[in-house]
Amino acid sequence: MSENVYIIGAGIHPFGRTDARSGREQGVYAVREAMADAGLEWSDIECAYGGSAAAGNADIMVNELGLTSLPFTNVANGCATGGSALASAQMAIASGMYDLALATGFDKHPRGSFNASPADYGLPEWYGQTGMMLTTQFFALKIQRYMQLHGISRTTLGRVAEKAFRNGAKTPHAWRRSEIDLDTIMNAPMINDPLTKFMFCSPAEGGVALILASEKKMKELGAHGVKIAKIAVKTRPPDSFEVFQAGVSVKEGGKPTVLASQAAFEGAGIGPQDIDVAQLQDTESGAEIMHMAENGFCADGDQEKWLAEGVTEIDGKLPVNTDGGCLACGEPIGASGLRQVYENVEQLRGRAGERQVPNDPKTAYSHVYGAPGLSAVAILER
């Protein structure tokens, strides 16, 4: 029987652009915030897991944090780096081997869209040479078909972005902190039809750290933690449709998000109707819409009504992306998934300030998706 695991400390370095700090320094900042939150010293931490996609190895952080000889494992899992670090830290404690663990992620990307090398993904050179290997295109192609099949309008895409900036304006760690009206969003330059400039997140910078503890350790410290009910990480099943696929199976396959979501709900012993607040991967507006259904919160097509009626607003029945998500915070790949968990920890502890959901949340859900087709879901309970 594995042990219950709790998050007893959470820290964040504001997302966006911080020219004066490297990605790793932003990570160190977040770790210090998390330790202060938990009332711990670096020497108390027994093991650590962390990573970045473009800002170096996390284990170098010991130079700044202290040479305590703790085992520090680098995690490199693309967009799921944070989720995988969290899952590893949880397993370290659940196994009974450790009582206090750190999960951290940070990043710092150049401006503009991500560019990928075909060879790194086992793809032929022509795919990149002809300009077909862009993550933004995948999301546009996925939502374009989804809109045709399930009656989602362009206005609904705009409403997702409008909500993100409205929530970001209330969030100290967000990058985009000004509201943007629906007309401006809809009439902004097109990036990949049907998605305009304000419907996409941008690569960014930031750092997040979470401190995990066993139940015994939490009680010993007198800390009030948030319980990790279940974490599930799933890679893609056969015949799925993912980013960077020049060919897709004519058989309709499964989806990694659906698999991770089902496994997380099953492990937590609750269902989508029991969730009080959710952070869903929203690298662009269409992703939030599709992920609402893939994570089991609504049927395909219901999003049109949900967005129009404000169901996913902070004061709605199911608040989604309460800190503005990737759209308002930007996407530092290594930190992004942990930001969602940080936000849920703050919401469950009632410490989210202006953006606090008013329904006295007991359960929170986070979901991250990334190349080459993997999803991580974490359900927290208080």
Partner 1 sequence: MAVLAPIDSKLWSDDAEPHLMGGRKPDGQIVFPMPQGDAAQDVEPYKLSRHGKLWSWTSQDFLPKTPYEGRGSGPEEGPPDFVPFLLGYVELPGEVIVETYIAHAKLDDLTLGMDMEFCIVPFNDTHTTFAYRPAGTGA
Nearer to partner 1, 99 or 284 (CB): 284
Strand-by-strand arrangement of the 374-381 sheet: 72-74, 47-51, 100-108, 205-214, 5-16, 226-235, 374-381, 363-370, 277-280
What is the smallest separation between the CB atom of 255 and partner 1, expressed in angstroms?
16
Residue with tokens 């169901």: 311
Upper half-sphere CA count for residue 99 (Cβ side, 13 Å): 9
Nearer to partner 1, 81 or 192 (CB): 192
Q: Is 153 in the site for partner 1 (CB under 8 A)?
A: no
Nearer to partner 1, 130 or 178 (CB): 130
What is the smallest separation between the CB atom of 322 and partner 1, expressed in angstroms?
29
Nearest to 83 by CA among 205, 207, 213, 232: 232
Number of residues that bind partner 1 (CB under 8 A): 38
What is the smallest separation between the CB atom of 254 and partner 1, expressed in angstroms?
16
**Interacting residues with partner 1 between 160 and 189 (CB under 8 A):** 189
Element (H, E) at 368: strand 363-370
Nearest to 210 by CA among 321, 94, 344: 344
Question: Residue 194 CA to chain centroid, in angstroms?
Answer: 23
Residue with tokens 């309970």: 381
Nearer to partner 1, 68 or 121 (CB): 121
For 303, counting Cβ atoms within 10 Å of its Cβ (0-12 exposed, 13-18 middle, 19+ buried), the class is buried
Q: Is 248 in the site for partner 1 (CB under 8 A)?
A: yes
- d(C-alpha 177, C-alpha 169), whole Å: 4
Nearer to partner 1, 60 or 127 (CB): 127
Residues 67, 69, 250, 273: which binds partner 1 (CB under 8 A)?
A: 250
**Interacting residues with partner 1 between 116 and 135 (CB under 8 A):** 117-118, 122-134
- Do 207 and 23 form a contact (C-beta atoms < 8 A)? yes
The contact mask relative to partner 1 for 65-104 (x = CB under 8 A, - = no) is ----------------------------------------
Q: Which residues bind partner 1 (CB under 8 A)?
A: 112-113, 115, 117-118, 122-134, 137, 140-142, 144-145, 148-149, 189-194, 245-250
